[in-house]
Amino acid sequence: MARQRGFSLLELVVCIALITGLASIAYSRLSQLAEDAEQAAFQGVVGWLQAGVNLEFSRALAQGKLADMQQLERHNPMLLADKVVQRPSNYLGELSEAEAAQAPAGHWFFVLGRGELVYRSRYSGGFGRYQPDKRGDIRFRLKLLRTAADSPSKRVIRGVALERLAIKTDG
């Protein structure tokens, strides 16, 4: 009968090194997958928001009520998206500035005092033209698009846009 032996120390070290290497590769791929999923969900919500804004403008145009569009500036775009699709499950609602400061990453919320819709990202990069600020916020506001005219009273509303606000440098 041959005598059975256990693993040698060298075999054990090689096995642990292989498992560690495979685990680190799997972790990096998994974290990239999570980042890609967040970006895709974000882009989807932005598309829904713009569709809701366009639908509201089309309705006002068809009914001859473009003057009603004045009230949309600083309005919560998420309320317009309700007409297109259900609100995302990670929408926290309308928050005060103090509540917004405490909002967790990976959520949408509307800041009442500023009239801004904010997405606080979990990951810092890869949002294309929507780069988060230091806190991770990507901020939007509804903006009326008007025709050029020699006086403000003669300007006509020609559309509504979901405007991406500049990145805050103060964090």
pLDDT at 159 over 80: no
Instruction: Give the confidence band of 144 by pLDDT, cuts at 50, 70, 90.
Output: confident
- C-alpha span between 17 and 97 (Å, rounded): 49
Task: Tell whether the model's pLDDT for residue 103 goes beyond 80.
Answer: yes
Q: How many Å apart are CA 129 and CA 14, to the nearest integer?
A: 45
| Sole residue written with tokens 């569709």 | 51
At 171, the pLDDT band (50, 70, 90 cuts) reads very low
pLDDT-derived band at 154 (thresholds 50, 70, 90) equals low
Q: Does 71 or 14 have the greater pLDDT score?
A: 14
